[in-house]
């Protein structure tokens, strides 16, 4: 089945790297394999006061089970090779696909030793620039703005960190950026300008032109920008250096599923994040409250990254706004 948001392979002889089983009988495992007590309960709640997500172990800790507040259930085999997904009859694959292409694949990567930032990434010159921050900080919005201003999007929501020798690379994700209505309004002038992910979601998606707006190369990570909450008193973005503990904590708080109960995985994560702090420039961005001033924000990040990567990449002639 084609999962909305993912590209369809043209070769019929490709060997599946991950098998995702949708709506199969007996999900996720035999009925006797009851989940253990939840090891994670989201602090975010839906309109009925239910946690957005609960995570537990099933089948003798062989599977992680993730239960979403809309009734969607996902079970992921501990080695990240197999995924089961089920959902109530009133939902559709389009409703569930944001889970699959976002947090589910982020968890799969993590279980297989690839740490992912909860971030978006764009290419500036020959480097990847990661845009990170808490929910609502504007990661996807800023990435979409870069695309509108002539840059290429590498990945949205999940930014995988692959280690190539002494440096980190960011591989491409898929050609789509998911956006809330406020962001679509700021980018396009009206929230109806982009299609809904599905009738059951308030989010919309911006298709990324695979030829002109999508970066299909794996690129070395050049810098990480941590977006803070927007500040009403600012008229222009402020970019500050982050180092040491502050940088490490910011990264730790924005890795996918950093609450999985696995000490070996946590040790490995700390090692990777310590390397990131030591090798990659990490910057805090304090943006103005006016979301319509996205071109100023993108220009500030582009100019700062050019200075950081002087001698390696040049971002010249950055446009003033979307055409």
User: What's the mean pLDDT in 4-29?
Assistant: 75
Coil vs helix vs strand at 267: helix
**Is residue 37 domain-shared with residue 86, that is, in the same domain?**
yes
**Is residue 170 domain-shared with residue 234, that is, in the same domain?**
yes
**Is residue 149 domain-shared with residue 286, that is, in the same domain?**
yes
Token pair for 209: 């032109």
Classify residue 106: in a domain, yes or no: no
**Is residue 39 domain-shared with residue 140, that is, in the same domain?**
no
Is residue 292 scored above 90 in pLDDT? no
Residue 231 is classified by DSSP as B
The helix (run of H) or strand (run of E) holding residue 188 is helix 181-188
Q: Is the pTM of this model over 0.85?
A: yes
Coil vs helix vs strand at 295: helix
User: What's the mean pLDDT in 224-249?
Assistant: 92
**Is residue 59 domain-shared with residue 158, that is, in the same domain?**
no
User: What's the mean pLDDT in 180-203?
Assistant: 88
**15 pLDDT tier (thresholds 50, 70, 90):** confident
% of the chain at pLDDT higher than 70:
91
Classify residue 316: in a domain, yes or no: no
Token pair for 150: 């002539």
Among residues 37, 57, 91, which one ends one of the domains? Answer: 91
**What CATH number has the domain bearing residue 279?**
3.40.50
Number of domains comprising the chain: 2
pLDDT of 313 reads 39
**Is residue 76 domain-shared with residue 139, that is, in the same domain?**
no
Token pair for 57: 């172990």
**Is residue 134 domain-shared with residue 247, that is, in the same domain?**
yes
pLDDT of 200 reads 78
Classify residue 239: in a domain, yes or no: yes
User: What's the mean pLDDT in 254-269?
Assistant: 81
**246 pLDDT tier (thresholds 50, 70, 90):** very high
DSSP 70-134: TS-EEEEETTSSEEEEE--TT--HHHHHHHIIIIIHHHHHHHTT--EEEEEEEEETTEEEEEE-S
Classify residue 319: in a domain, yes or no: no
**Is residue 129 domain-shared with residue 277, that is, in the same domain?**
yes
List the single range of 199-208, 257-266, 289-298 with lowest mean pLDDT.
257-266
Calpha distance 189→17 (Å, rounded): 41
**Is residue 86 domain-shared with residue 134, that is, in the same domain?**
no
Classify residue 45: in a domain, yes or no: yes
Is residue 196 scored above 70 in pLDDT? yes
**Is residue 25 domain-shared with residue 148, that is, in the same domain?**
no
**Is residue 37 domain-shared with residue 121, that is, in the same domain?**
no
**Is residue 266 domain-shared with residue 165, that is, in the same domain?**
yes
Distances (CA, A) of 31 to 19, 26, 317: 21, 7, 60
Q: What is the pLDDT of residues 137-149, one digit of tens each?
A: 889 999 999 998 8
Let me know: does 31 contact 61? Beta carbons within 8 Å. no
Is residue 26 scored above 80 in pLDDT? no
End-to-end, the C-alpha distance of the chain in Å comes to 37
Classify residue 228: in a domain, yes or no: yes
Classify residue 304: in a domain, yes or no: yes
Domain span holding position 42:
19-91
Tally of helices (H runs) and strands (E runs) in the chain: 7, 17
Is residue 187 scored above 60 in pLDDT? yes
Residue 191 is classified by DSSP as G
């Amino acid at each position: 089945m084609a999962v909305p948001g993912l590209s369809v392979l043209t070769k019929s002889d490709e060997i599946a790297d991950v098998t995702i089983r949708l709506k199969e009988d007996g999900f996720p495992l035999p009925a006797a394999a009851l989940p253990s007590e939840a090891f994670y309960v989201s602090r975010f709640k839906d309109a009925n006061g239910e946690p957005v997500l609960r995570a537990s172990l099933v089948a003798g800790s062989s599977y992680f089970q993730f239960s979403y507040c809309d009734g969607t259930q996902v079970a992921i085999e501990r080695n990240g090779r197999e995924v089961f997904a089920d959902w109530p009859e009133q939902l559709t694959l389009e409703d569930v696909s944001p889970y699959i292409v976002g947090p589910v694949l982020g968890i799969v990567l993590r279980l297989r030793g690839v740490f992912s930032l909860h971030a978006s990434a764009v290419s500036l010159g020959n480097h990847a620039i990661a845009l990170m921050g808490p929910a609502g900080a504007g990661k996807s919005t800023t990435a979409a703005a870069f695309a509108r201003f002539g840059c290429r999007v590498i990945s949205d929501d999940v930014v995988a960190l692959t280690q190539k020798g002494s440096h980190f690379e960011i591989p491409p994700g898929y050609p789509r950026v998911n956006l809330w209505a406020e962001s679509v309004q700021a980018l396009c002038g009206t929230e109806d300008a982009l299609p809904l992910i599905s009738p059951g979601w308030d989010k919309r998606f911006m298709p990324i032109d695979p030829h002109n707006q999508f970066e299909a190369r794996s690129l070395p990570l050049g810098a990480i920008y941590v977006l803070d909450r927007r500040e009403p008193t600012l008229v222009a973005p402020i970019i500050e250096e982050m180092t040491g503990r502050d940088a490490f904590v910011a990264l730790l708080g924005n890795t996918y599923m950093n609450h999985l109960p696995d000490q070996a995985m946590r040790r490995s994560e700390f090692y990777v994040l310590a390397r990131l702090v030591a090798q990659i420039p990490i910057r805090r961005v304090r943006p103005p409250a006016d979301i319509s001033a996205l071109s100023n924000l993108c220009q500030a990040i582009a100019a700062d990254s050019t200075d950081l990567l002087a001698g390696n990449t040049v971002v010249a002639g950055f446009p003033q706004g979307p055409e």
